């Protein structure tokens, strides 16, 4: 019982990060029409930029202590958005009407470019990264009948959950209530129709790429204290982010968030059983295969109406 509660406590923030990663991946998939294999790797470079900026602030003595992190975060986020827009403008725009396969190959190539850049310009070493909320973990202990309960909650996870929640809610509001949200949805559902109502689909694609990679950078900054900073720091998060998007069905953006939460919790729950140790990823991917076979639209997809 206690182990179960503990698994959920650690799993939810972890899953929220997979979810945000999956949200961005699903957004690019739906709107720009490709699966971005370089998603986590460009975010990794943005995290490295953030880290370098923190160090630079320290060395220059401009900002002291923990404030340097907050001063550097905007730089990292902007770099993420810039990467996204540049990928779209310089690479994707040239091939998107020609071949979906080329777009996929470009993202795979970018993965190698980003990883190589990180190794060359920075280093393959593991570097530590400051937490948003440093300090000792919260420990919840039950009393009386619940005496056995003792759940540890990492302080930084509080920041992770709050940030993930705020981002999800604001993204939902943007998608539903703003012109750009409407344009992104319309672009994803019918590009020709979108142009007919006056939407500049090229510009929408740039915005989607920028927004999705900015989001990935947020995930990278939140995950960095745990994984440390190194060229493959987001490999696992990206893989499980794609998985979250598949689980939620690429057709629903917020399905990816729920999918991510489920994967995060599942991963930790599987961890409880010693016999299954080391099989977490295998089990999760086996479940994905089941989802793809039996519910290819994703587990949250609405029942398909009859075709008129």
Partner 1 sequence: MLEVANVGVRFGGLVAVDDFSMTVEQGMIHALIGPNGAGKTTLFNSITRLGPKTTGRVYFKGEDITRLPDHRMIHKGIARTFQNLQLFGKMTVYENLYAGYAFHFGRSLPSIFAGSHKSFEEDVRARISDVAARTGIRSVLMNVPRNLSYGMQKRVEIARAIISEPEMLLLDEPAAGLTYQETEKLDRVVYDLSRNKGITILLVEHDMNIVMKISDRISVMNFGKKIAEGSPQEIANDPEVIRVYLGGEESA
Where along the sequence are the contacts to partner 1 (CB under 8 A)?
A: 173, 177-180, 182-183, 185-186, 189-190, 192-201, 251, 305-308
Given the complex with partner 1, which of 10 and 199 has the nearer CB atom?
Answer: 199
**Residue (180 or 235) nearer to partner 1, CB:** 180
**Shortest distance (Å) from residue 122 CB to partner 1:** 39
Whichever of 183 and 216 has its CB closer to partner 1, that residue is 183
CB of 178 to partner 1, least distance (A): 4
Among residues 136 and 305, whose Cβ is nearest to partner 1? 305
Nearest to 226 by CA among 123, 124, 159, 130: 130
Q: Closest distance between partner 1 and the C-beta of residue 167, in Å? A: 17
In whole angstroms, give the CA distance from residue 225 to residue 47. Answer: 11
Contacts 24+ apart (CB under 8 A), 51-60: 51/127, 51/129, 51/224, 51/229, 52/122, 54/130
CB of 194 to partner 1, least distance (A): 8
CB of 77 to partner 1, least distance (A): 21
Helix boundaries (H) for the chain? 2-31, 39-60, 67-86, 93-95, 100-121, 155-177, 179-189, 191-196, 201-227, 235-248, 253-272, 280-294
Q: Which is nearer to partner 1, 159 or 181 (CB)?
A: 181
184: nearest Cα among 29, 43, 303, 305: 29
Which of 221, 253 has the CB closer to partner 1? Answer: 253
Counting Cβ atoms within 10 Å, is residue 26 exposed (0-12), middle (13-18) or buried (19+)?
buried
What is the smallest separation between the CB atom of 202 and partner 1, expressed in angstroms? Answer: 8
Token reading at 180 = 């750009």
């Amino acid at each position: 019982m206690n182990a179960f509660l503990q698994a959920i406590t650690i799993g939810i923030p972890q899953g929220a990060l997979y979810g945000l990663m999956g949200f961005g991946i699903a957004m690019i998939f739906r709107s720009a029409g490709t699966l971005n294999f370089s998603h986590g790797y460009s975010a990794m470079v943005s995290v490295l930029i953030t880290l370098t900026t923190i160090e630079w602030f320290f060395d220059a003595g401009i900002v002291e202590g923990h404030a340097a992190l907050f001063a550097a975060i905007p730089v990292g986020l902007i770099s993420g958005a810039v990467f996204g827009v540049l990928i779209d403008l310089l690479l994707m725009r040239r091939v998107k009407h020609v071949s979906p396969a080329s777009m996929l190959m470009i993202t795979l190539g970018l993965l190698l470019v980003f990883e190589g850049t990180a190794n060359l310009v920075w280093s393959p070493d593991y570097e530590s990264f400051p937490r948003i909320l440093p300090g000792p973990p919260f420990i919840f202990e039950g009393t009386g009948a619940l005496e056995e309960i003792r759940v540890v909650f990492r302080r930084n996870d509080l920041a992770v959950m709050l940030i993930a929640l705020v981002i999800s809610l604001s993204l939902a509001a943007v998608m539903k209530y703003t012109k750009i949200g409407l344009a992104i949805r319309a672009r994803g559902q019918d590009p020709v129709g979108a142009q007919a109502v006056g939407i500049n689909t090229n510009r929408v694609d740039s915005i989607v790429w920028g927004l999705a990679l900015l989001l990935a950078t947020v995930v990278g900054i939140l995950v960095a204290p745990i994984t440390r900073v190194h060229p493959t720091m987001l490999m696992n998060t990206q893989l499980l982010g794609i998985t979250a998007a598949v689980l939620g069905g690429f057709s629903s953006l917020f399905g990816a968030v729920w999918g991510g939460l489920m994967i995060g919790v599942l991963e930790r729950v599987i961890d409880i059983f010693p016999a299954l140790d080391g099989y977490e990823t295998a089990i999760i991917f086996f479940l994905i295969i089941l989802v793809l076979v039996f519910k290819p639209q994703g587990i949250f997809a609405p029942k398909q109406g009859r075709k008129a």
